[in-house]
Amino acid sequence: MSPVEPALVPAPRTVEEAALGGFPLTPDTPLWAGPGTGTTERWLRSALGPALGLRFPPGTEDTRDGLRLRLDDTLAPEAYRLAVLPGRGVEIAGGGPAGVFWGAQTLRQLLGPDAFRKAPVRPGATRTVPHRIVEDEPRFRWRGLMLDVARHFMPKEGVLRYLDLMAAHKLNVLHFHLTDDQGWRIEIERYPRLTETGSWRARTKLGHRASPLWNDTPHGGHYTQDDIREIVAYAAERHIAVVPEIDVPGHSQAAIAAYPELGNTDVVDTSSLTVWDTWGINPNVLAPTDTTLCFYEGVLEEVLELFPADATGPSAFASSPPSSPSPSFSSFVHIGGDECPKDQWRASDVAQKRIADLGLADEDALQSWFIGHFAGWLAERGRRLIGWDEILQGGLAPGAAVSSWRGYAGGVAAARAGHDVVMCPEQHVYLDHRQDAGPEEPVPIGYVRTLEDVYRFEPVPAELTPEDAGRVLGTQANAWSEVTENQARVDYQVFPRLAALAEVAWSALPAPAERDFAGFERRMAAHYRRLDALGVAYRPPAGPLPWQRRPGVLGRPIDGAPPQR
């Protein structure tokens, strides 16, 4: 790294010291925003301005004592050039609106941790931006975080907060896990019982499913359709696409509890089912009937209205090389497709008749047919299906994409078969997994994944050819919420590791063994102060604070190093 490089996270491609000193920002520093930069202008006025007491009076394109925003079509869509030069003020140029916005996030970091607060702590202070030229662009187009709000509901304000945290780390995809056995979190007007019944459970398992402990307080909640519209609009202002997940055909007991006809009624008394109160793989799956298909088509019709595809950007329907315009990932809909036990289908005369009528080989092929139905249904509406890597079983429709979670193998197989891939292997980037082997970690789940482990994660498997590697859209971290029951617990599991994942997704890093983790730690020392200003209850480098521990709550630790494939 350059000796003048500031403590930026994620690390930019190049930083050049332009001159000694810097440019002072005062309450009267003007702001000029060129065509196409409105989202960044609004963010500067609503976030950075209040934090530092900057009024940003209107400037002009020729302003040399202020801040200028403009588009530059010689840059890639998400690339930016932040120039702070003597006598020229501050200029952020981006290849597209997103590029300008990411440049503004870098400017914020250059201004120190006070820039991450809600109001000035040093009113009237002059803020100096060092004379620098920062040129930067992301390595991957998909840089994501999955929030599981189905197991433990996250109120709308918490989701908006996480969108701000994502933007601060230049992440651009929120994978929104809205439905599961333990709760249905999105209002569907034509099926009101999905939230009236399906969004609440009577009690909740504390810790891993082997734990004897329970919280007997009913748990639940859901987002109204206006809440969803607000979340999507708030994300769009921050150049973040929201990809909803509606789980089928497994992980569906909450829906079956609300509408028993969706389940395998000839095998189990579905009218007796309730929203599930524990964790694991649930045997109650959707019936492969026309009734079920029609029901979920109705669900998805409302989902598509609430999560509109970006009509102004290029389509995400076909793979595109890194040099081409970045696709809009808002055209994706995630349908789950994982962990679907087939026992009920094997015992169901209805399911077996469907297999025979379709001429299918077995129950795995029946699931492939089920997924394929919705892949085609979405494609007819200009949308694109993405699912967990189990959807590869039995073949996958052209245009569908895969979230590779069980390791690298699913992503490798998908890329080789011509499908786009998001790499999120549980052994590496599941943030519910424990961060240390010590006994003080709260509810220890899975393998130990330290900050350094996440920093050395490589999303592109070495065995892929350059052509197949080009189908790796990017990567995301997954924050499952079985053991994260509130904001402080989510923060502890997600941070600081999400900062490491953000750098993996954004920065042009060397091979994992050659990465400068010591340098990243030095930059994180400054970044922790930013997280403090944002009120993030991260895991401290020295280990959990006393109030972050959960003594006596059983987890599910797995010893040893995780498999690499």
Distance between CA atoms of residues 563 and 451, nearest Å? 18
Please count the residues of the chain: 565
Distance of CA 75 to the CA centre of its chain: 25
Report yes or no: 16 and 2 within 8 Å, Cβ to Cβ. Answer: yes
The three-state secondary structure class of 71 is strand
Catalytic residue among 339, 436, 452, 521: 339
The three-state secondary structure class of 492 is helix
Distance between CA atoms of residues 533 and 535, nearest Å? 5
527 is catalytic: no
Distance between CA atoms of residues 283 and 302, nearest Å? 27
CB burial string 261-300: b at 16+ within 10 A, e below? ebbbbebbebeebebbbbbeebebbbbbbeebbebbeebb
Q: What are phi and psi of 241, to 5 degrees?
A: -85, 140
- For the chain, the helix, strand and coil percentages under 3-state DSSP, each to the nearest 5: 35, 20, 45
Report yes or no: 56 and 50 within 8 Å, Cβ to Cβ. Answer: no
N-terminal to C-terminal alpha carbon distance within the chain: 31
Rg (CA), the chain: 24
Helices (H) and strands (E) in the chain, counts: 18, 22
Count other C-beta atoms under 10 Å from residue 343's C-beta. Answer: 12
Catalytic residue among 41, 180, 187, 491: 180
Tokens coding 214: 């329970």
- Reference 177, options 518, 424, 345, 501; nearest CA is 424
251 is catalytic: yes
Catalytic residue among 175, 208, 219, 251: 251
Q: What is the DSSP letter of 11?
A: P
Q: What is the DSSP letter of 266?
A: T
Q: What is the DSSP string of 534-561?
A: HT--PPPTT---GGG--TT---EE--SP
Distance between CA atoms of residues 280 and 104, nearest Å? 42
302 is catalytic: no
The three-state secondary structure class of 532 is helix
Tokens 């620098």 label which residue? 132
- Reference 255, options 227, 280, 281, 274; nearest CA is 274
Distance between CA atoms of residues 398 and 415, nearest Å? 12
418: left (phi over 0), alpha (psi -120 to 50) or beta: left
> For residue 474, which amino acid is it?
G
Residues facing 177 on adjacent strands: 148, 245
CA distances from 83 to 66, 131, 334, 369, 508 (A): 12, 8, 39, 54, 21
Q: Point out the residues that are catalytic.
A: 180, 251, 339
